[in-house]
Amino acid sequence: MRIILANPRGFCAGVNMAIESLERAIDLFGTPLYVYHEIVHNRPVVDRFRSLGVVFVDTIDEIPEKATVLYSAHGVAPGIREAAAARSLRAIDATCPLVTKVHLEALRYARDGYTIILIGHEGHDEVLGTMGEAPQHIVLVQDVADVARLELPKDVRIAYLTQTTLSVDETQGIIAALKQRFPQIVGPPKADICYATQNRQEAVKDLCDMAEVVLVLGSQNSSNSNRLAEIARSRGKKAYLIDTVKELRDEWFQASDTVLITAGASAPEENVQECVNHLRNRFGAEVEHRTVREEHVNFPLPRELRSLSVV
């Protein structure tokens, strides 16, 4: 067996920042410490923090007054911040800066009187946060069929934004459909889909033709991880999305297979290496590293944590 390890893979700068923020907050303030929604969409990461005393909540009123809350990498709507202030919570904002960029674009377009078409997945934490910035101005579309169903005046001022973790190819198709229906539509000067999402998708596209099987480390509720598996399947490959080596099945493989292994932007590298070690032990696999693009992006900790030191 041959393993191709795709680079880049795994944690992006936003996930690194969010996880480091939560670890530092635990050191500073102890537990219980509350996180609004999952810190990132990865079950092993969430389970690890839960074992340390972190409490993940879906509503602010689950948090005791004057407690500490950390906002996840996916961002939150203004109403959540207001609810936290009303309960006198110490709030730490670990929103990915690339998500914050989309929020600011939504506010700008809304102030300028645009109807905003948000391309994204209904119910996703990031989409909920973005729509909360200007709910009277934003319409969600998930696919080309939704674009066809839009009913807007011909002379409407219209702009589009996207969730940061979508499929690049699929999103381009939706944007093309929007431009065909609404030639006057405008968009952000720089694409909303984040660099890490694009890079991981590019790596799978470039490398999966060499493989019979593609393994994607990531959780079922991770948008960007699902997109990686979908890309491989669209190219006729057997692709499996798993959290850990415990979900790996030997019957998925032939002894002579080439296996491409990658990981979503919220999946820990240790879970990748456990799968590599299993395939080495079971099939005598040899490992080859393939780098499609270098990444050198880092985001600072939230300002609420930067000036504080652990006692």
Given a contact cutoff of 8 angstroms between Cβ atoms, the answer to whether 160 and 105 are in contact is no
Give the pLDDT of residue 279: 98
Give the pLDDT of residue 70: 98
- Domain ranges in the chain? 2-11+195-291, 13-95+300-306, 98-181
Residue 196 CA, chain-centre distance (Å), reads: 9
How far apart CA 80 and CA 224 sit, in angstroms, is: 25
> Parallel, antiparallel, or unpaired for β 90-93 and 68-71?
parallel
Give the pLDDT of residue 309: 58
Give the pLDDT of residue 164: 95
Looking at domain 13-95+300-306, its CATH architecture is 3-Layer(aba) Sandwich (3.40)
Rg (CA), the chain: 21
98-181 has the same fold as 13-95+300-306:
no
Given a contact cutoff of 8 angstroms between Cβ atoms, the answer to whether 239 and 287 are in contact is no
b (16+ CB within 10 A) / e for 220-230: eebbbbbbbbb
Give the pLDDT of residue 190: 81
How far apart CA 105 and CA 75 sit, in angstroms, is: 14
CATH code of 98-181, in short, is 3.40.1010.20
Using a 10 angstrom Cβ sphere, with 0-12 exposed, 13-18 middle and 19 or more buried, the burial of residue 6 is buried
One-character DSSP codes across 116-147? EEEES-TT-HHHHHHHHHSTTTEEEE-SHHHH
Pick the CATH number of 2-11+195-291 from 3.40.1010.20, 3.40.50.170, 3.30.1490.20, 3.40.630.30: 3.40.1010.20
Local mean pLDDT, 10-residue blocks, the chain (311 residues): 98 97 96 96 97 97 97 96 97 96 97 97 96 97 97 92 92 95 92 92 97 98 95 97 97 97 97 98 97 95 80 49
DSSP single-letter state for residue 302:
P
Q: Which residues are catalytic?
A: 126
